[in-house]
Structure 1
Amino acid sequence: MFFQGYGYHGHTFEQTYVCYPVSFIDKPHLESGDKIIMPPSALDRLATLHIDYPMLFELRNSAAERISHCGVLEFIAEEGMIYMPYWMMENMLLQEGDTVKVKNVTLPKGSYVKLQPHTKDFLDISNPKAILETALRSFSCLTTGDSIMVAYNNKKYYIDIVETKPASAISIIETDCEVDFAPPLDYKEPEKPAVSAPLSKAHAEAQEDVVEPEAKFNPFTGTGRRLDGKQPQHQPPSIASSTTKDDRPIEAISRKHSTGSTSETSSHKPAGKLVFGSNPTPTDKQKDAAKEKEEPAKKEEPKFQAFTGKKYSLRG
């Protein structure tokens, strides 16, 4: 079936045209949108079909296997020709006078679109989302993979359509669409400060070896002397007994003062002198614990003990 000799056939609109940029008909303002100019015969054919409004079309460049989508603004082009924004021709790799196939389609309303500016100066605009919302009012649909052009303040900004939902091509006429931005193509992450290299295991172990252990304080480990030069009648206990690991003598003295048991041992001590190493009468449990601590001590080699020799008198 043919329509008025222009080659229209079938129950859908599908026709091949020769394309030219909109600047050829002195309509440069159409560069800020996705509307094309079609011949009057196309309108006559579309009027006989039960199509959805607004009219949306698929543009196909079979030679380069590129597909895009657009709307229509007017039907004033010469027969066999269409005029389209130059940025759309660039997306489809079309030159002036190339042929393009036009087919009417129905697209779902968009719910989500992800955009990626080519340059980061687009984000330097005071309110890029508001500018984008205003610019997209001139668009009928968006196609994943296309690069749209947004003009603002005498400058052109190109933006890639990275993702669209619920389909790869969506209608944005009278719909609430969520917009997300990807980092611009020329964006570079700030360099992180250099992190010092960790020390090698051998070097770390060497530093640990240099650290000397702190000396432990052992109280009352000196020797006793009399002011008159004579040897003390009571010899001090051995160093081993006064510097045990858990400091038992000091603990015993503090316990003795706190329990008030000094009355049992005060009779065996000379007046005005301190005798280290004396303990209150131990209980059975304390005796057992003392034996367990003394057994390993017996196996140790004998240690030096001060003032354990024989006594001599100066008078002979």
Structure 2
Amino acid sequence: MNMYFEGYGYRGSTFEQTYRCYPASFIDKPQLESGDKIIMPPSALDRLASLHIEYPMLFEVRNTAAERTSHCGVLEFIAEEGMIYMPYWMMQNLLLQEGDMVFIKNANLPKGTYVKLQPHTTDFLDISNPKAILEKTLRNYSCLTTGDSIMVAYNNKKYYIDIVETKPASAISIIETDCEVDFAPPLDYKEPERPKPTAPPSADPAAEAQVEEEPKFSPFTGPGRRLDGKPAKDLDASSSSPAKRQANATNSVQPSAASTPQITAPRKTTGKLVFGSGGSQSSKGTEKVPDKDAKEDPKKEEPKFSAFTGKKYSLKG
């Protein structure tokens, strides 16, 4: 037989009641601030016991005027009738003032599998072991609701952390469950500024042009050699110029009129090497051969090259 009490608003098989809320500082229960549990009057326990509510007891807490909703557990049933006491951080989440009316309803929440947290300040990450501190704090919590900000007390300092996301629902139970925890960057986190690239010092334009200039090809820049193998002591020093050597090579190499090429000793000229067809003739524009060259013994003249003058062989053997 279900009982209905007009004064307390018990209806059917659910627990629904409106109370005036006050912070935990009104009673000697400082431990309330380190969790999400409230203190309710004894009449609430009687009604919950008659409904065979599943343990742990979880409740939906709603501020109808501000349209804010959260969830919590219960610590004790020792409050005055018509009143409840709750952590001050929870009153802040619900935008409640002392003595405001709050709606309480029993709730069944799924076990959480994932929660994403976001600290308000970066100094929470400076704690030597924030994971251990968080695990210890969440042991005092029964459930988590997306959009709430929970409080973590450590070394006489309060750290606030937002519940960004929860799975598999927007409100989950964290009692006796394995829950994956992820962290978002703190609200006051700022990415370090990247150093601006420094402009290279402006170089001298003339130096840049000199560096960028590619080496030009200069033909005939090696040392001079005589074709007859003798030292090239008669070469004019002016013939070392690349331009002159190129001109010499162009003007001095001439095809022989005979079928067999003839190579004569070079004669001292004004900056040119002449490869003529005749051994005793001098080209136009050249000086006469000095007396020293004229007195040279003609017997010492190098043998002339004749093509196809060797022995004959037959491929038949």
Q: TM-score, normalised by structure 2?
A: 0.69
SS of residue paired to 1:46? helix
Matched, 1:239 2:240: no
CA shift for structure 1 position 218: 2.4
Cα 1:3/1:310, change in 2 over 3 Å: same
Contact 1:220–1:242 (CA<8 Å) still a contact in 2?
A: no
In the alignment, what sits opposite 2:127?
125
Contact 1:36–1:73 (CA<8 Å) still a contact in 2?
A: yes
CA shift for structure 1 position 211: 2.5
Contact 1:221–1:242 (CA<8 Å) still a contact in 2?
A: no
Task: State the Cα deviation string for residues 100-156 of structure 1 (Å, max 9, x = none).
Answer: 101111111111111111111111111110011001100000111111011111111
Cα 1:10/1:309, change in 2 over 3 Å: farther
Cα 1:238/1:143, change in 2 over 3 Å: same
CA distance in 2, matches of 1:78, 1:192: 59
Task: State the Cα deviation string for residues 76-103 of structure 1 (Å, max 9, x = none).
Answer: 1111111100110011100000001011
The alignment of Structure 1 onto Structure 2 pairs a total of residues equal to 253
CA shift for structure 1 position 216: 2.2
In the alignment, what sits opposite 1:194?
196
CA distance in 2, matches of 1:127, 1:306: 92
AA partner of residue 239 (structure 1): Q
In the alignment, what sits opposite 1:7?
9
Cα 1:198/1:104, change in 2 over 3 Å: farther
In the alignment, what sits opposite 1:214?
215
Larger radius of gyration: 2
Runs of at least 5 residues in structure 2 that lack an aligned partner in the other structure: 227-231, 237-243, 254-259, 267-271, 275-282, 291-317
In the alignment, what sits opposite 1:71?
73
CA distance in 2, matches of 1:94, 1:242: 106
SS of residue paired to 2:126? coil
SS of residue paired to 1:138? coil
CA distance in 2, matches of 1:6, 1:60: 17
Aligned pair partner of 1:37 in 31, 36, 39: 39
Contact 2:120–2:187 (CA<8 Å) still a contact in 1?
A: yes
AA partner of residue 111 (structure 2): K
AA partner of residue 192 (structure 1): R
Task: State the Cα deviation string for residues 234-290 of structure 1 (Å, max 9, x = none).
Answer: xxx9827969xxxxx9xxxxxxxxxxxxxxx9x95458x8xxxxxxxxxxxxxxxxx
CA distance in 2, matches of 1:164, 1:64: 23
In the alignment, what sits opposite 2:310?
none
Contact 2:114–2:180 (CA<8 Å) still a contact in 1?
A: yes
CA distance in 2, matches of 1:8, 1:226: 129
CA shift for structure 1 position 178: 1.1
CA distance in 1, matches of 2:65, 2:127: 38
Cα 1:222/1:171, change in 2 over 3 Å: same
CA distance in 1, matches of 2:170, 2:129: 27
Aligned pair partner of 2:104 in 102, 105, 108: 102
Matched, 1:151 2:158: no
Contact 1:19–1:98 (CA<8 Å) still a contact in 2?
A: yes
Task: State the Cα deviation string for residues 186-213 of structure 1 (Å, max 9, x = none).
Answer: 22221211124699xxxx9xx6798222
In the alignment, what sits opposite 1:227?
234
In the alignment, what sits opposite 2:89?
87
AA partner of residue 163 (structure 1): E
Task: State the Cα deviation string for residues 20-58 of structure 1 (Å, max 9, x = none).
Answer: 011112111111000001111111111122432111001
Runs of at least 5 residues in structure 1 that lack an aligned partner in the other structure: 230-236, 244-248, 250-264, 274-304
SS of residue paired to 2:48? helix
AA partner of residue 72 (structure 1): V
Contact 1:3–1:45 (CA<8 Å) still a contact in 2?
A: no
AA partner of residue 162 (structure 1): V
CA shift for structure 1 position 11: 2.0
CA distance in 2, matches of 1:226, 1:173: 107
